Amino acid sequence: MRRALIAGNWKMNGSREANRELLDGIKAGIGEVSGSDLAVCPPFVYIPEVAEQLAGTPVKWGAQNVSHESSGAFTGEVAPAMVREFGCVYVIIGHSERRTLYGETDEEVAKKFVAARAAGLTPIVCVGETLEEREQDVTEDVVGRQMDAVIAAEGAAALAGAVIAYEPVWAIGTGRTATPEQAQAVHAFIRQRVAAKDANVAEGLQILYGGSMKPENAAELMAKPDIDGGLIGGASLKADQFLAIAKAAN
Ligand SMILES: O=C[C@H](O)COP(=O)(O)O
């Protein structure tokens, strides 16, 4: 039985004050969450303060991106070991905003996956198709290609302990959620893709759904057999909503 993970991707949002308020709210309600693990991924600069505020709580934290390099002349980049030093457990890799707005390729995502693991981080690898790709009926081609790039990097065994997030790009921040059936179909496809290489790893793999997940649709989505939690954007910025999503997995 896979345990659910509810991870908040704060994206480029927050302030020191707003973060404190949000984390205070999460900490106050965490006692009612029993069926899932929780994590938040703030912007880099807030990681040290978030680490202090969450120390000793069951809530883990992570980064939204990392370099595939470990050190050197890479202005503006942050190495995996650096965020690990501040207690990050997770790192989001290959979010569609990174792929679309910053040109990250499948190869780059695969390199970051390798670097993150080498530093002891748990990568949350994002995959997903655009609306145009869904309409052209090439969702499985796109997601399969994105998965294969990661699998090829170090073999399927490297996915043991990693996390995949299926995020249909057309559902991100749009209020338009994939139906539980649409999401389940792609989640099952992802698991199958890994199972073709390593059935045990596939069975244990946490596959999160992301894209306008909110308290109203979380239970229905997570009731599907291959949906093991959520990568939450907008709703992770409100403690009550984030906790309600987490409780939907109880
Ligand atoms: O990483 C999170 C996803 O991009 C989902 O964002 P959203 O919940 O605001 O649609």
Cα-to-centroid distance, 209 and ligand 1 (Å): 9
Cβ of residue 104 lying under 6 Å from some atom of ligand 1: no
Give the pLDDT of the chain (250 residues) as one tens digit per residue.
799 999 999 999 999 999 999 999 999 999 999 989 999 999 999 999 999 999 999 999 999 999 999 999 999 999 999 999 999 999 999 999 999 999 999 999 999 999 999 999 999 999 999 999 999 999 999 999 999 999 999 999 999 999 999 999 999 988 888 999 999 999 999 999 999 999 999 999 999 999 999 999 999 999 999 999 999 999 999 999 999 999 999 8
Domains of the chain in sequence order: 4-247 (3.20.20.70)
DSSP state of 56: T
ipTM of predicted complex: 0.99
- In order of 19, 169, 239, 241, the CA distances from 128 in angstroms are 29, 6, 27, 24
**CA-to-CA distance for 131 and 222, rounded, in angstroms?**
23
Cα-to-centroid distance, 118 and ligand 1 (Å): 27
Whether the CB-CB separation of 248 and 34 falls below 8 Å is answered with: no
Report which protein residue has its CA nearest ligand 1's atom 8.
233
Cβ of residue 128 lying under 6 Å from some atom of ligand 1: no
Q: Mutate which of 213, 221, 236, 241 to test ligand 1's pocket (most atoms within 8 Å of Cβ)?
A: 213
Over the Cα atoms of the chain, what is R_g?
17
**CA-to-CA distance for 163 and 183, rounded, in angstroms?**
16
Whether the CB-CB separation of 206 and 226 falls below 8 Å is answered with: no
Cβ of residue 126 lying under 6 Å from some atom of ligand 1: no
Cα-to-centroid distance, 72 and ligand 1 (Å): 32
DSSP 132-145: HHHHTT-HHHHHHH
Exposure letters 77-102 (e unless 16+ CB within 10 A, then b): ebbbbbbbeebbebbbbbbbbbbeee
Whether the CB-CB separation of 194 and 151 falls below 8 Å is answered with: yes
- Catalytically active residues, by annotation: 95, 167
DSSP state of 177: P
Six-digit token string for 27: 């900490």
**CA-to-CA distance for 209 and 196, rounded, in angstroms?**
21
Whether the CB-CB separation of 233 and 210 falls below 8 Å is answered with: yes
**CA-to-CA distance for 207 and 19, rounded, in angstroms?**
27
Cα-to-centroid distance, 73 and ligand 1 (Å): 32
Cβ of residue 58 lying under 6 Å from some atom of ligand 1: no
Neighbour-count burial of 126, counting CB atoms closer than 10 A to its CB (0-12 exposed, 13-18 middle, 19+ buried): buried
Query: Whole-model pTM?
Result: 0.97
